[in-house]
Structure 1
Amino acid sequence: MPAEAASLVGFAQQLGEHGLPAFLAALAVAVALAGLAGWLLHWRRGRRSAAEDAPPPTLVRLAAAFAAGFALIVCAASLFAAIARRLGPDNAMGLADQALADAIAQHTPATALRVFALLTHLGDPLVLAVLGVVVAGWLWWKRARLLAIGWLLALGGNAVLNPVLKGVFERTRPLHDHGLAQATGFSFPSGHSSGAMVAGSMLLYVALRMLPARWHAAAAMAAVALVLGIACSRVFLRVHFASDVAAGLLSGLAWAGVCVAGLEFARHRQSRR
């Protein structure tokens, strides 16, 4: 085994042996950073006057949104392609994926697995479909109809995109015999991870648009916890390899970036009329 592959496999084994505390630590850090970002946004808006608190979209803001969205898509697509090029059981990433899955199987308590088995259902297609209808109905009732349509297109588009990508790569799933979760079909990229990323990102965007600024930090923290919790549950339950989850998060992030940029463009056009 090449030295690079051996070091990556060794790291994966160590991570799998301490998978639960590593996940909890990473989740705590990510949620804290999201809360800090939301608090800073609230503080920044609090220093503005009431007239400046919600300025109408301008061409400069629209260009900035598209530039940020384009950079996000390029970065996510590049990382996705890098992962896809290294698929296979005999290369470094494939060996590390298997080493991580084996270590998790040996060192994760059964109680934690049962919790992850409940958590992972939050990313089920039926749950996301119900969430999509409920949020769209609320937005329509609040007369944010453009946002409601964008929200539905984001969830629906990802539901079409992920099976297409799975059919392109046709990667088999890892073996899992614990009976806590069942998954069929191809493995790469993870549909639960991409669905959680799109739903969480769009929920955060909706919250930033519709809720008072004092709720933005809590919304960011909840979105991060939701996405990471669902995504990592797929690895702990061994229905996906870690690279499947990473690719699902990246594809979902790219699609969410496209949707947000499109909504900002439509919002700009609407305000001009």
Structure 2
Amino acid sequence: MAAEASPLVSWAQLVGQHALALFFVGLLLAVGASGLGCVLLQRRRARRDQDDPSARNVGRLLGGYATGFLLIVGTASLFAVIARRLGPGRTMGLADQALADGIGSHTPAAALRAFGLFTHLGDPIVLAVLGAVVALWLWQRQARLLAAGWVIALGGNALLNPLLKQVFARARPLHELQVPQIEGYSFPSGHSSGALVAYGMLLYVATRLLPLRWHAVAVMAAVGLVLTIACSRVFLRVHFASDVAAGLLSGLSWLAVCVASLQFVRHRHANQPRGPRR
């Protein structure tokens, strides 16, 4: 086991020493790639507008469900791999601790204060207020389907994450600067899953309601916000890196289910035959 863990632990120590620089590089790459991908996808869809509308809608629906299915299977598999490697003396546990120690020794206090502010954007109370405001706004706009999907997505994740925490019952990281002590289990990260579901669903709502020219901006903002909130949990050492990875994976799976369900209902409604007017 020690021989297996050694390369990963050494890599985690190296990442921890340069974590802040790697975070900024990764954030810029992720935001830039998401924006570019959105623009390319829009252009591809524009070229397809000359195709037969019914065939195009069916193809999009099937493609969306195939993508969602593969996404759920892939994220569930990665989640299972992470869970199997947790525990004292196991590969992931040793790497988690090495990364946390490296971050604690090499991250400036100013950066930690900044992460301390950003992390509150994933607090349950903040997401609850956001959920209520957006739900009321959608209901007033007569977007009842979006409002229902929004509430189910946020409410479902609020039930799913505590259930997973109880199943794995992993203790949080402990260090001398952690004041106040964070209560509750650590795996998977609730801030990570909650941020991904909430801001991911907000992105979906934005793509339904905003003009096309704002879609790339919305995608980049959502990606940047979710990654910053998730990484803040590791930098503040209230979660291990594997907790955050698992939180993002569980949130992504649930988000895929919610978006696919909404798309299915929208497609069925759009293709439902209209009865004669009376």
Q: Same fold (TM over 0.5)?
A: yes
Corresponding residue number in structure 2 for 1:244: 243
Corresponding residue number in structure 2 for 1:147: 146
CA distance 1:14–1:89, shift in 2 (3 Å) = same
| Aligned-partner SS, 1:58 | helix
Q: Which moved more, 1:170-179 or 1:124-133?
A: 170-179
| Aligned-partner SS, 2:71 | helix
CA–CA distance in structure 2, aligned partners of residues 42 and 109 of structure 1:
41
Offset, 1:171: 0.2
CA–CA distance in structure 2, aligned partners of residues 80 and 124 of structure 1:
23
State the superposition RMSD in angstroms: 2.0
Offset, 1:44: 3.5
Asked whether 1:5 is paired with 2:28, we answer no
CA–CA distance in structure 2, aligned partners of residues 196 and 56 of structure 1:
35
TM-score if structure 2 supplies the norm length? Answer: 0.92
1:17-96 to 2 correspondences below 5 Å = 17-47=17-47, 58-96=57-95
Offset, 1:12: 0.4
Corresponding residue number in structure 2 for 1:220: 219
| Aligned-partner SS, 1:240 | coil
1:182-197 to 2 correspondences below 5 Å = 182-197=181-196
Offset, 1:46: 4.9
| Aligned-partner SS, 1:187 | coil
CA–CA distance in structure 2, aligned partners of residues 232 and 132 of structure 1:
22
Corresponding residue number in structure 1 for 2:275: none
CA distance 1:180–1:215, shift in 2 (3 Å) = farther
CA–CA distance in structure 2, aligned partners of residues 66 and 46 of structure 1:
21
CA distance 1:22–1:215, shift in 2 (3 Å) = same
Percent of residue pairs identical: 65
Offset, 1:138: 2.1
CA–CA distance in structure 2, aligned partners of residues 183 and 112 of structure 1:
20
Corresponding residue number in structure 1 for 2:124: 125
CA offsets, 1:196-234, max 9 Å, x none? 111122122112211111011101100100110000000
Corresponding residue number in structure 2 for 1:111: 110
**Structure 1 unaligned regions, length at least 5:** none
Offset, 1:79: 0.3
Offset, 1:4: 2.7
* Structure (1 or 2) with the larger CA radius of gyration: 2
Offset, 1:136: 1.5
Contact preservation (8 Å) 1:176, 1:237: no
CA distance 1:250–1:181, shift in 2 (3 Å) = farther
CA–CA distance in structure 1, aligned partners of residues 119 and 236 of structure 2:
9
CA offsets, 1:154-189, max 9 Å, x none? 000000000000000000000143356652100000
TM-score if structure 1 supplies the norm length? Answer: 0.93
AA of the residue aligned to 1:3 = A
CA–CA distance in structure 2, aligned partners of residues 242 and 22 of structure 1:
14
CA distance 1:108–1:167, shift in 2 (3 Å) = same
AA of the residue aligned to 1:205 = Y
CA–CA distance in structure 2, aligned partners of residues 48 and 94 of structure 1:
48
Corresponding residue number in structure 2 for 1:208: 207
CA–CA distance in structure 2, aligned partners of residues 181 and 161 of structure 1:
26
Q: Which runs of 4+ in 1 moved over 4 A?
A: 45-49, 54-57, 179-182
Corresponding residue number in structure 2 for 1:258: 257
CA offsets, 1:12-68, max 9 Å, x none? 00000001001000000000001101222333355566x98x989833322222211
| Aligned-partner SS, 2:173 | coil
CA–CA distance in structure 2, aligned partners of residues 135 and 181 of structure 1:
31
AA of the residue aligned to 1:36 = L
CA offsets, 1:109-140, max 9 Å, x none? 00000000000000000110111112222222
Offset, 1:247: 0.2
CA–CA distance in structure 1, aligned partners of residues 62 and 140 of structure 2:
30
CA–CA distance in structure 1, aligned partners of residues 180 and 146 of structure 2:
34
CA distance 1:78–1:2, shift in 2 (3 Å) = same
Offset, 1:246: 0.2
